[in-house]
Amino acid sequence: MGNSVRKVLRTSVLICGCAFFLLQAAAQQPSLEGVATGKTRVIDLSYAISDQMVPWPGDAKAFEAKINATVEKNGYFTRSFWMLEHYGTHMDAPAHFPPGTTTVDRIAPEKFFGPAVVLDVTKEAERDPDYQLSAKDISAWEQKHGSFPVGAIVLLRTGWSARWPDVARYRNQDVNGKMHFPGFSVEAAKALLARKVSGLGCDTLSIDPGNSPDFPVHHLMLGAGVYQLENLADLRELPEAGAFVIAAPIKLEGGSGGAVRVFALAGK
């Protein structure tokens, strides 16, 4: 067999191999059509709203529901409810912290849809509850999975949802009342802004670590127009790459944020 023939065969094998892996990867990508057929998993990342959730320290009242009508008396069932904008699984709109100004009803709707980038720091958080995601963690993800996709929604998986809804364990306050849970560092936030992400999310009370006195990541990200998802439910089922996130906040006129239903679409 001549050298030219061997080169052609090697090239053909390489092309076929690449095509096979690309097709395999494409088949594993979640799709809306796959939801109905069961090929795509729908993962609910939101907690059901009630008065049993973990409020921010100092929030004496966070939620109240009242029955307006009953089937027995009125022939139908309705309730009214009152709640804080930043309670349970919620979205921080840019207007929540200066210099951000955009309210939750004014966020461009296309920003609510995006490929998920899951940054897992569960082991680090077990060792250090004050752990802050670093730029090195972001680079490590890219070494494994490639560059961030355009318009990514970045989710920080810390394992903190295992403490929900135990108020004491979830807040993890010390004797001085300071909370201790992991979050994003300013260094990491700047790196994510450079990658033009659409949103950030975490499975803790705040994007900033619990011991932060002045919320620098809030100021930085919200000031740049990047919304935040806080108190996300268990992120363990999400792959580090390949899932797709849908975040649907309440369209509250003039709101600094509000309750949000967050779904992830993932392959089987």
Which residues of the chain are under the pLDDT cut of 70? 1-28
pLDDT at 8: 42
DSSP 3-state assignment of 263? Answer: strand
Question: For the segment 211-230, what is each residue's pLDDT rounded down to a tens digit?
Answer: 999 999 999 999 999 999 99
pLDDT at 4: 54
The residue annotated as part of the active site, out of 86, 90, 96, 219, is 96
Q: Are 238 and 118 in contact (CB under 8 A)?
A: yes
The rounded distance, in Å, linking the Cα atoms of 260 and 39 is 25
Q: Are 92 and 227 in contact (CB under 8 A)?
A: yes
The rounded distance, in Å, linking the Cα atoms of 112 and 151 is 10
pLDDT at 12: 45
The rounded distance, in Å, linking the Cα atoms of 93 and 223 is 10
The rounded distance, in Å, linking the Cα atoms of 268 and 265 is 10
The rounded distance, in Å, linking the Cα atoms of 141 and 118 is 9
> Model-level pTM?
0.89
The rounded distance, in Å, linking the Cα atoms of 165 and 171 is 10
Q: Are 184 and 228 in contact (CB under 8 A)?
A: no
What are the structural domains of the chain? Answer: 41-267 (3.50.30.50)
pLDDT at 30: 86
Clarify whether 180 is annotated catalytic.
no
DSSP 3-state assignment of 156? Answer: strand
In degrees and rounded to multiples of 5, residue 173 shows phi and psi of -85, 145
Can you point out the beta strands (E) in the chain?
A: 40-44, 63-69, 78-83, 90-92, 113-120, 132-133, 153-157, 183-184, 199-202, 227-230, 241-249, 257-267
